[in-house]
Structures are given as C-alpha cells and as structure tokens.
A and B are shown apart, each in its own frame.
Chain A
C-alpha cells in the first residue's frame, strides 16, 4: 500500500451561513474525502448592527479531509471561490492529521511517527457518523476506556454520497464525536468503534486523530 504514506490534512473554514454547502461541493470536486458542516455563531463587526442590538450572526464551520499533495490547489480554489483573502469573507486553516481511517477504500493510513512517539500525551479523536448511530459510538468508546466525549451536530457527505432532491444535493445529518484520549488508549477506542459500526464499509462514517500538544481539565479516572 504505497498510498498509505500519503498524508492528510484537515481543512477547516469558518464561512457565512449558507456557504457551507458550496464549500462542500467544491471540495468534493477537488478530491476531498467529503466534508462536514456544523453551525456556529460569530461576532458582528458592524457597529451599526451592534448598536441596534444584534448579538451574533450565524456561521457555518466546514471541515474536510484532503491529501497533503492537493492542499495548495485546494486553497487556491477555495480562495478564489470565497474571497477568503478579503476581510470579513471568512477564514480558513488546516491541521495535520496524525492518523486517519480512510473508510472508503477499506484501508487505513497511519503516519510513521505514530509508532515512534510513545510518551504520555493525548490524542483528539474525531468520529463522524450518520445521525442516529452516535449512541453506539459512545458505548463502544466507553467500553474501550474512553472517559468522556462531546457530540456536535452537523451535516455533511462523503465523496461517494450523492443524493439529490430537486437538484439540491442532500447532505445527510451527521454527529461528530470528539474524544480526548490518552495516547495508549487511542488504538483501542478506534478499534472498538470500528468493530461496532463496521466503519470500513462505505458511507458508515470516518475516524481521524489529531495531535494534541497540551490539555487541561481532563479528569484522570482510574
């Protein structure tokens, strides 16, 4: 598996409400492994609106996974489409993905450092599944020693999911589970979730891990 060495990055972008779907469509065209959108609220810069009493404005947070080799092209296109270089048009950043389970081709990509670095630390595990399966994921993660997790409600679609309704693409609802786990438990949690959900099947979900450099407030249970 040569492609296993191809590293992935997590592209994150905060856009005006309504642009998330466009970003998702574009990133699929550019070869991303699908993407997920969730809603957030952002600050308002407009002084007049602030004075009138507007408190916040709806934003969409868009995340997508893409191969590192495609990153430059990806940014170029996103920039062109959403004018991210201009002020108040949204922001984007990317994070390196440490470990990624690429579900659609029934294999996973593991970065070489994963084996080498064994010092005590934490991983941020992201598990994205279709709505309705999140309780199973929580159970599976707990069984494997996870001490907690946070669920974010969103929508999104994998690269192979295509359903249209009156020419509008349907982006099914997803739940995103974020778990901060001790590095030695990460593998067990991922395996447990994978077995429970048969996540290697196409369209079941995706798991990836980001490196965490520092944490605070985590309860170290026995």
Chain B
C-alpha cells in the first residue's frame, strides 16, 4: 500500500505532462514491484530480527548498571553500525571530492562514525541520567549553529545532508530499538518519552563532525562535479547491472549487526535455539528485502525521477514546486524506517498516537521540504540556510512547548524520513531539475535536499504534538 501512491503519481505524470519512454516506464513498473516486495520482506525481517537485537542490546547495556559501560558500549555500537552504512560511504566519497582531496575518504568515514558513536553514547547516558531531551538538542544544535557560522555554506549543506545519510534503512530500526530497550529496562515515569530521541541524537553527530573537519582543514572552496548521468538501456539489463552492487551494500550493512549479535549472544543473551533461529531468519529477510528494495529504487525509480525533474523544469518550470509538494507527500510513505518508527510509537503509547496521524504529519512535512527545495533551485538568491536556520530554530523553540514524547518522535523522524527512497528518488528529481535550469548548479543545489527532508519533520511533528496538547487540554 505504501509504495502505491508514488507509483500512481509517476504514472499520472506520465500520462499527463511528462511522457516517459516506454522502455523506462516498464523498468519503473518492474522497480515498483521489486520495491513493494522488498519493503514487505524488509519490514517483516526488521520486526523479527533487527528490532529484537537492538532491544536486547539496549536491555543488556542498561543492566550493566554502570554509566561508563553504557556510554562506552553506546559509542562502540554507534560507531560500528555507522561505519558499514553504504550511504555514509557514498557521502564520504562526495565530501572527499568536494574538498578537492584535502579530506581523505577514510578520514571522513572515521570522523563521522566517531560523531555518531559519541552521540549514541551520550544519548544513552541522557536516558540513564534523565536529562531532558529538549535541553540536549538545544546544546547540540547551538554548537552546530556556532560551527555553521564559520563554515562554508556548501559544507553546511553537506554536513546536514550527512545527518540524513547516517540514519539509513538498517541503522534506524536498530538505534530506535536500542533506545527503547534501555528506557524500558530503566523504567520510571519517563519511559514513554525516553523511548524516542536516540536517532535524533545520532543524526546530529555527523553534522558536528563534518563541520569541524571542514573548519580544521580550512576548506575555502568546494570542488568536484556531479556524477555524469548515464541513461539506462534495455529493460532487464540495468537490473542485472546494479544487482551485485546492492547485494554487496546490503551485506555490508547487515554484517556488523550480525557479528555484534553473535558476540553478544555468546556472552550475554544466551538465547535458546528457537529464538536464535528466528533472529537469524529475520536478519536474512532484512538483507533480502533491502537488496530488492535498493535494486528496485536505483534501477527503476532514479532515472524516472531525474527525467521528470529535467522535463518539468524545462517545459513547465512554474509547476515544479507543486509537483515537488505532491512528490514529497507520497515519497515518504515508501520509506521503510517510517513503519518501524510508527509501530514503535503505537507500542509505546498503547495506540494513543496512531500511525496514520504520524504518516499524515510526516507527509505534509516532506511535501514542504521538497517544494521549498524546488524553489531554492529556481531562485538563485534563496539560500539553504534561509530555510534551515529558521527551521531548526523553530524546532528547538517548539521542543520546550510540546509534550516531551513528541520532541523525541519528531527528532527521530527527521532521520527516519531521509531514507533510501527519498535520498535517491527526490535527489534525482532535484538534480534533473537543477540540470535544466541555467541558474542552478547541479552540485551545489543537489546538496541540501536531504537536509531539508531531515529538517521539516522536526517542525511538522512537533506542531502535531502542539495540536494534541491543545486538544487534550480542551477535553480535560
């Protein structure tokens, strides 16, 4: 059901304003089928594999009952999970290129992973010491703001983008479950609000890391060029071409979780055979599902996104923000991690905050993100920070007004929304549009899209929390 809206949108656009080549359309439909199957298998696997592992690890960490162990293990887990994330590897490559080789690929990879590790460690300690989430976010984003003042604008965009990239399809369910596990074992009054917010903390790590690196290395200009666009040929061939690559990537993402599980199980969990087998099955499904999903998105969706962006920007530039709006609304529904988050929300609140309400708010948030990104591409004087600064400022202010649980949910959903679907499809659409608009720069305008997608949910979901609060007061 979740992939259907985006498929329909593309088909409707195809029959109305953007006629796509027939071959490409067939590829798109094959891609959509793969994405639907992949998403289903992935979510089933995450439910019986990834989430239980994260939950068990969270409980085990909390049981240690020593703050330094909580912090240290949190750091290690965050670091290891992140370093294998394919999105981060792509990003590191891009950053390395953009810095003209001044920052090497491996150094950025390690620094970003340290950033994530530190934030996961701090995020877990926050739960243990019962420090309020809004204060933590205020401190972190204040640091980012100060660093951002000195950094190059493009690097600001790259750094916020990297926050979206860290929280990939696999890491998000894991980190979500980790925080949930720790807060549940800890218990107490704030269990509910503490069950969220760890993904939000983890996403802030890379921003600080990338900004710091660009400042330390004194990078004064951004170089490099966007990857050349090679059109696909044939119907099945592109799928066969990309398959090994995504098989490898999925394997890389799942490997650290598998290894960690084997180590932890040997030392601590000591699960019985049956439970162990279910978790292995779950990991296998997650891997299979993610591979199918990525192959479908990359071989079927990406080029359609790019072609449509280019076509609309060339012939109907005025409607670009409108198409972007609708696209944002539907694309987030196909994000795998969104369903993991909404399920956890329902579990924690006993169904009080319903999935559809969260999906609705996310949908509107991402719609604005994509729409505003289109405006930014069209109007050169509109800069990314014109959106990001007020957006994050508003998010921080709201975090002192809305019920605490919504603060955690909102900051988590920022990382959740910027998953593999948005990162490829919307990015391709934006790059296509930027390519066709003479005043736009594919490289510069390409950065910052994910940043927008990661920012708007913070505002949208906290506004939802505000509505809940007002409604609840009326009723009481």
Which A residues have a C-beta under 8 Å from some C-beta of B?
20-21, 37-39, 52-55, 58, 60, 135, 153-155, 161-166, 168, 170-174, 203
Inside 8 A of A58's CB, which chain B residues have their CB? 347
Inside 8 A of B351's CB, which chain A residues have their CB? 20-21, 37, 39, 60, 155, 171
Contact residue among B277, B346, B357 (Cβ-Cβ distance under 8 Å from A53):
B277
In contact, A54 and B48 (Cβ under 8 angstroms): yes
Which of B115-123, B297-305, B445-453, B465-473 binds A?
A: B465-473
The 8 closest A-B pairs by CB, nearest first: A53-B281, A163-B475, A155-B352, A173-B352, A53-B278, A155-B350, A154-B350, A163-B471
Inside 8 A of B346's CB, which chain A residues have their CB? 39
In contact, B350 and A170 (Cβ under 8 angstroms): no
Closest chain-A Cβ to B234's Cβ sits at a distance in Å of 34
Closest chain-B Cβ to A38's Cβ sits at a distance in Å of 6
In contact, A54 and B349 (Cβ under 8 angstroms): no
Inside 8 A of A39's CB, which chain B residues have their CB? 346-347, 350-351
Given known contacts A165-B357, A166-B357, is B282 in contact with A53 (CB within 8 Å)? yes
Which of B48, B351, B467 gathers the greatest number of chain A CB atoms within 10 Å?
B351
Closest chain-A Cβ to B98's Cβ sits at a distance in Å of 42
Which of A20, A53, A170 gathers the greatest number of chain B CB atoms within 10 Å?
A53
Closest chain-B Cβ to A106's Cβ sits at a distance in Å of 18
Given known contacts A172-B472, A172-B475, is B352 in contact with A54 (CB within 8 Å)? no
Mark contacts of B167-181 with chain A using CB atoms, 8 A cut-off: 1 yes-contact digit, 0 otherwise. Answer: 000000000000000
Instruction: Verify if B246 is at the interface (C-beta below 8 Å from A).
Output: no
In the complex, A37→B354 CA distance in Å? 13
Given known contacts A20-B351, A165-B467, is B475 in contact with A170 (CB within 8 Å)? yes
Which B residues have a C-beta under 8 Å from some C-beta of A?
44, 48, 189, 277-278, 281-282, 285, 346-347, 349-352, 354, 356-357, 360, 467-468, 471-472, 474-476
Inside 8 A of B277's CB, which chain A residues have their CB? 53
Contact residue among B48, B467, B472, B475 (Cβ-Cβ distance under 8 Å from A55):
B48
Minimal Cβ-Cβ distance residue in B for A60: B351
Given known contacts A53-B282, A155-B351, A155-B352, is B475 in contact with A161 (CB within 8 Å)? yes
Not counting A53-B282, A154-B350, a sample of 8 additional A-B residue pairs whose C-beta atoms are within 8 angstroms of each other reads: A54-B44, A155-B350, A155-B351, A163-B471, A164-B471, A165-B467, A166-B360, A203-B476
Inside 8 A of B350's CB, which chain A residues have their CB? 37-39, 153-155, 173-174
Minimal Cβ-Cβ distance residue in B for A54: B48
In the complex, A170→B464 CA distance in Å? 13
Inside 8 A of B278's CB, which chain A residues have their CB? 53, 55
* 26 A-B contacts (beta carbon < 8 Å): A20-B351, A37-B351, A39-B351, A52-B44, A52-B281, A52-B285, A53-B281, A53-B282, A55-B278, A58-B347, A60-B351, A153-B350, A155-B349, A155-B350, A162-B475, A163-B472, A164-B471, A168-B356, A170-B471, A170-B475, A171-B351, A171-B352, A172-B352, A172-B475, A173-B350, A203-B476
Contact residue among B44, B282, B360, B472 (Cβ-Cβ distance under 8 Å from A170):
B472
Closest chain-A Cβ to B109's Cβ sits at a distance in Å of 34
Closest chain-A Cβ to B136's Cβ sits at a distance in Å of 23
In contact, A165 and B48 (Cβ under 8 angstroms): no
In the complex, A107→B35 CA distance in Å? 58
Minimal Cβ-Cβ distance residue in B for A175: B350
In the complex, A37→B351 CA distance in Å? 8
Minimal Cβ-Cβ distance residue in B for A56: B48
In the complex, A168→B471 CA distance in Å? 12
Closest chain-B Cβ to A47's Cβ sits at a distance in Å of 15
In the complex, A90→B165 CA distance in Å? 42
Closest chain-A Cβ to B290's Cβ sits at a distance in Å of 17
Inside 8 A of B48's CB, which chain A residues have their CB? 53-55
Minimal Cβ-Cβ distance residue in A for B467: A165
Inside 8 A of B475's CB, which chain A residues have their CB? 161-163, 170, 172, 203
In the complex, A155→B476 CA distance in Å? 15
Inside 8 A of B347's CB, which chain A residues have their CB? 39, 58
In the complex, A38→B349 CA distance in Å? 10
Closest chain-B Cβ to A55's Cβ sits at a distance in Å of 6
Contact residue among A135, A153, A163 (Cβ-Cβ distance under 8 Å from B474):
A163
Minimal Cβ-Cβ distance residue in A for B41: A52
Closest chain-A Cβ to B329's Cβ sits at a distance in Å of 15
Inside 8 A of A164's CB, which chain B residues have their CB? 471
Inside 8 A of A21's CB, which chain B residues have their CB? 351, 354
Minimal Cβ-Cβ distance residue in B for A49: B44
Contact residue among A135, A153, A165, A174 (Cβ-Cβ distance under 8 Å from B468):
A165
Which of A165, A171, A203 gathers the greatest number of chain B CB atoms within 10 Å?
A165
In the complex, A55→B271 CA distance in Å? 15
Contact residue among B282, B354, B474 (Cβ-Cβ distance under 8 Å from A168):
B354
Minimal Cβ-Cβ distance residue in A for B347: A39
In the complex, A142→B211 CA distance in Å? 55
Closest chain-A Cβ to B284's Cβ sits at a distance in Å of 9
